[in-house]
Structure 1
Amino acid sequence: MFSNRNFLSSLNYFSFFFAPFFFPLLTMIFGYEEIKLHGKRALISHLIPIATFVFMVITYGIIHLLSTQLKVIDVPNSTIQGSSMILLALITIGVAIWNIKQGIKQCKKI
């Protein structure tokens, strides 16, 4: 039997690819309790790469300030940028895989 609730719960996770914040927020506001739970989980998972990016930008800014102005740290900027980009890519891929897994899990309940 087809269930709209499970389908909407599944779309919360798949929205990582087409409407990362908009769709989970809509389902959290207008959905049933079961859908709100999945909307909240999906929204948190969508925020993880953004929070990581903001943290990396702040960290890079501090390191850049310490290395150029104060001459405290002598680390090449390309090393910091490269490792930060690799870490961000790995976190984003991991979150995408988790969202796909959770979306398929909800689709199987349909």
Structure 2
Amino acid sequence: MKGLLSSLCYFSIFFAPFLLPIIVWIAVRDEYVRGHAKKAILSHIFPIIAAIPLFYFIVTANHAGSVVGFVLLFVVVYLGVFVYNIYKGIMTLREAA
């Protein structure tokens, strides 16, 4: 059960990116599950933190090329985090099996 709940925290990127890991982190007292919930929360927040400079550069950029470059960088970061969450969810399920 611990492995399933831990992997659901990572897989929640599909249906409840912040809500499920936060609820699990608060409600569950098992340190293994809480650790994975915390990692999932941080991995869901990372693209938003990466987007803050993007918004700054979009507002202050003088060239459309730089805006496109930063948007592409954000897409790469978000896709990387997305793949990471899927990978960690699968690996957590495999550990539990």
Alpha-carbon distance in 2 for matches of 1:17, 1:54: 22
Q: Which has the larger radius of gyration?
A: 1
Q: CA RMSD in A?
A: 1.2
Match of 1:47 in 2: 45
Deviations 1:57-103 (A, max 9, x none): 12333x24xxxxxxxxxx41x11210011000000110011111100
Superposition pairs of residues 31-42 of structure 1, within 5 angstroms: 31=28, 32-42=30-40
TM-score by length of 1: 0.81
Q: What does 1:75-90 correspond to in 2, within 5 Å? A: 75-76=62-63, 78-90=64-76
Unaligned runs of 5+ in 1: 65-74
Q: Distance in 1 between matches of 2:68 and 2:57?
A: 14
CA distance in 2 between counterparts of 1:5 and 1:88 reads 33
- In 2, the alpha carbon distance for the partners of 1:96 and 1:57 equals 21
Question: What residue is the counterpart of 2:14 in the other structure?
Answer: 17
Q: Does 1:95 align with 2:81?
A: yes
How many residue pairs were aligned?
A: 95
Q: Which amino acid aligns with 1:34?
A: Y
Amino acid at match of 2:70: S
Residues 12-21 or 52-61, more deviating: 52-61
Identity percentage of aligned residues: 31
Given that residues 57 and 67 in structure 2 are in contact (C-alpha distance below 8 angstroms), is that contact kept between their aligned partners in structure 1?
no
Deviating 4+ runs (over 4 angstroms) = none
Q: Normalised by the size of structure 2, how large is the TM-score?
A: 0.91
Q: Secondary structure at the match of 1:17?
A: coil
